[in-house]
Amino acid sequence: AARATLRPDPAMFPRIVRLRTALLAAALALPLGACESPSGPSQKDRVALARAKAAWASLGVDDYTMVVSTYCFCGVREIRFTVIDGVVTDRLVLDDGTPLPPNSFSNVESVDAMLDHIENAIDEHVASLEAEYDEHGVPVSVQIDYQANAVDEEFGWSVKSLIVPES
């Protein structure tokens, strides 16, 4: 039986060479990028956080209920947290109605906890931090990538609602 010989199309050589060159350049750049990510937190992130903390503190809100969607390797969860006198009194997973254990998602159980978590992420020089705050200083959308080259360690959240009872 005749054996077929596969030969690359000569027109593909320039593309293959370009691709190999690009891959080599990317591979050489990896160790440099792993030392310090240019997309990590900056002074701008620290200033935005300070403004958010000041805005939230100026409201003097100690009682509220908020719904937070969390995003991580464990999937998406929608959780309702109730805060009374600055203390989290209720944690409920909304999709199945089960109470959330006190140690779970404690970094998003209150606005203060969220702001502290963002501050820790900045202090720890995470690989990437994207945080959006509303006019009251609530971190309404946050994405944190703790290590650029790791898998399944990213974490984020979005605040779906925050209700402050009328006084």
Report pLDDT digits (tens) over 63-84.
999 999 998 776 678 999 999 9
What does the mean pLDDT of the chain come to?
80
Confidence of residue 155 (pLDDT cuts 50, 70, 90): confident
| Residues 112-137, mean pLDDT to the nearest whole number | 95
Mention every residue, 6+ apart, whose C-beta is less than 8 A from residue 52.
115, 133, 137, 138, 139
Judging by DSSP bridges, how do beta strands 87-93 and 128-133 pair with one another? Answer: unpaired
Query: What is residue 47's three-state secondary structure?
Result: helix
Q: Which helix (H) or strand (E) holds 57?
A: helix 43-59
| Residue 165: closest CA among 63, 55, 59 | 63
The residue among 93 and 6 whose pLDDT is bigger is 93
Measured distance CA(66)–CA(99) in Å, rounded:
15
Report pLDDT digits (tens) over 13-45.
444 333 343 333 333 333 332 233 455 788 999
Report pLDDT digits (tens) over 133-150.
999 999 999 999 988 877
108 DSSP 8-state letter: G
pLDDT of residue 40: 78
